[in-house]
Amino acid sequence: MTYDHELVLISETYVEDEIGNQIAQETRKPVLCNVKSVGRNEFYSAATAGLRPSIVFVIHGYEYNGEQKVEFEGVRYNVIRIYSTDFEEVELTCERVAVDG
């Protein structure tokens, strides 16, 4: 399998400002990935649960630390399913984030 595309894994941590408000800070980590289509069965099964999977990214398992947001070619996605295909690879099934959030 070739890893020809760049995917940015996004993790969020919360810090307090000077008056105690919680502010989200993003940490971005670029990794190489392979891009796959969402399978027909998986798409329709997820749709019955109210999810809209649109793309699958395959990355090395040691690079993934539970991030729930990713960015690919300038588009944000939420990770809705994580599947370890073998010892080295992890598939991240993602749905596109709506424009308004």
Which pLDDT score, from 0 to 100, does residue 49 have? 67
Q: Which domains does the chain have, with CATH numbers?
A: 5-96 (2.40.10.270)
- pTM comes to 0.83
Which pLDDT score, from 0 to 100, does residue 48 have? 66
Residues 6+ apart with CB under 8 A from 48: none
Residues 97 and 101: their CA atoms lie apart, in Å, by 7
Residues 93 and 52: their CA atoms lie apart, in Å, by 10
If you average pLDDT over residues 8-31, what whole number do you get? 93
**98 Ramachandran zone, left/alpha/beta (phi>0; psi -120 to 50):** beta
Taking only the tens place, the pLDDT of each residue in 41-100 is: 676 566 666 678 889 999 999 999 999 999 999 999 999 989 998 889 999 999 988 765
